[in-house]
Amino acid sequence: MFCYSYARVSSRHQVDKHGITRQVKAARVWAERNGHELIEISDKGLSAYTGKHTQKGNLGKFIAAVGAGEIPAGSILIVEALDRLSRQDILTQLNQFINLLDNDIEIVTLSDGMHFTKKSVGDNWAELIISIAMMVKGNDESKLKGQRIKSARENSHNKADQGQHIITRQVPFWCEIKNNTVIENHHAAAVRRMFELSLEGKGAITIARKLNEESVPCYTGARKSKHNWNMQKVHRVLKNPATYGLFVPEGDYQEKENYYPQVISKTDFMTVQGLIEKRRKNKVKSASPNNLFSGVLKCQCGSHYSFGTSKTGRFEGSQRFLKCNRKTFGEKCENPRLWYFPFEKLMLSSVLELQYHKQAGTIDETIAMKAEIERLEQQNQNLVDLIIAGNGSELMAKKSKEIEEAISKIKWDIFTYRHKKSISPNLAYKQDEIVEIQDLKNADLRESVQNQILSVVEEVIVFPEHFKVNLSNGLTYEITPKEKNSSKLANKSLTSNKRLF
């Protein structure tokens, strides 16, 4: 008999407080006490009140597997309480509860020691009443909590309108809270410098480079960057109305001017927005995708690679190049810049071979699983025939049950494997097709190829002497050119694909 535990918390804040750990630990104790092997399922930061845990989470996958017959009948689902499964309206909760029982899934709730089965609920209607009461309680608690949060927010906004209160303790990096008042800190000087440079006509990349050259301190937060100022950070500040004091709340609340300290004037802010928009309109966008690997190409240092052009190049059309963003922003990185078209040709050839490996691996593994199921089913049928004919024994019956459980486990493995490995686009291009792809005049073809690549490739990490390719199906490959000279890395043909585990 299979035993599954489901743990869930609604917010990332609860994840940090070890809510998942508490629920899983209790489920492990129950499973061990009752002699069951446990398969753990969890959803972190997904609300059961809105139903996100069944729409986007692992519980939804589990329920789908139950409906598809991938979860063996008689399996046990352990939860801390019924509100872990859902806090939606009573009919939605009840439908989910009955659906699981109808598929012969037993539900154990640890908080009250209940063990619901299709038979127990059918024999004792009081159990159904108890479960409905628990569902109503969970829904009411979430509804009341939502109303209280809304009321508290409205109260905060009303007090803020009267200048008596701060709405949130989350403030921009150039601000801090002191004596219940939002004031600016030492980072405000960096903000002023950004706007000063922007008003001079400088773009975000140039501003980031200038700030790094001037050793202007960069803020640090929960997500620390491996480098200092960059284009994205500068752009976010230049577009943020909080720089001139405007607070933009979530929901239907009114915006509040002069909520934050005014680091720059509203006039300067609006002028900078006009300059940004003018640069955006003046920027000529290529009709054909320049970089087929846009967004997935990363340096070993953690930065992304950006696309650029040069007046000179050793190959026809190779004035286009890729360079680590750390170098773009004036910092050091040992990785070389890559001439784009030789790199693109190498990667198209490599991904071609990787795709063959991926498809072969998927087919072989699935066929092997299905073949094992057929073998076990035939073995089990032979035992059943002997038992029906009266020639079986208690040992045979026990063996038959073990085989059925083994079949159910393989079906579950196939289900989880499909979720993890399924990728459909076929990148089996011939060499003459690669020539067509590299022709920038074939804009539609390049756009189609780019979409296929981005659906298969999760990221490409550049090292001095090789590339590491992480595919969306979870597999990782290493691509090493013939000549391991970092300055010529992207100019040599592929010699090997080494699968990494």
Q: List residues with catalytic annotation.
A: 10
Task: Return the amino acid letter for 51.
Answer: G
39 sits in which H/E element:
strand 38-44
Report yes or no: 329 and 227 within 8 Å, Cβ to Cβ. yes
Q: 274, 124, 145: which is closest to 199 by C-alpha?
A: 274
- Gap between the Cα atoms of 231 and 307, Å rounded: 14
Name residue, tokens 């943020």.
Answer: 240
Report yes or no: 70 and 411 within 8 Å, Cβ to Cβ. yes
In the structure encoding, which two tokens stand for residue 277, read together? 């928009």
∠ CA 397-400-403, rounded to 5°: 155
What are phi and psi for residue 261, nearest 5 degrees? Answer: -65, 140
* Strand, coil or helix: 429: coil
Find the distance separating the first CA and the last CA of the chain, reported in whole Å: 31
188 sits in which H/E element:
helix 188-199
Q: 353, 338, 349: which is closest to 461 by C-alpha?
A: 338
Handedness of CA 484, 488, 489, 494 (dihedral sign): negative
Length of the chain: 501
Report yes or no: 205 and 231 within 8 Å, Cβ to Cβ. yes
- Gap between the Cα atoms of 367 and 182, Å rounded: 63
Provide CB contacts within 8 A for 19, sequence distance 6+: 7, 9
In the structure encoding, which two tokens stand for residue 18, read together? 């070890």
Provide CB contacts within 8 A for 222, sequence distance 6+: none
- Gap between the Cα atoms of 329 and 301, Å rounded: 14
Provide CB contacts within 8 A for 104, sequence distance 6+: 73, 74, 75, 118
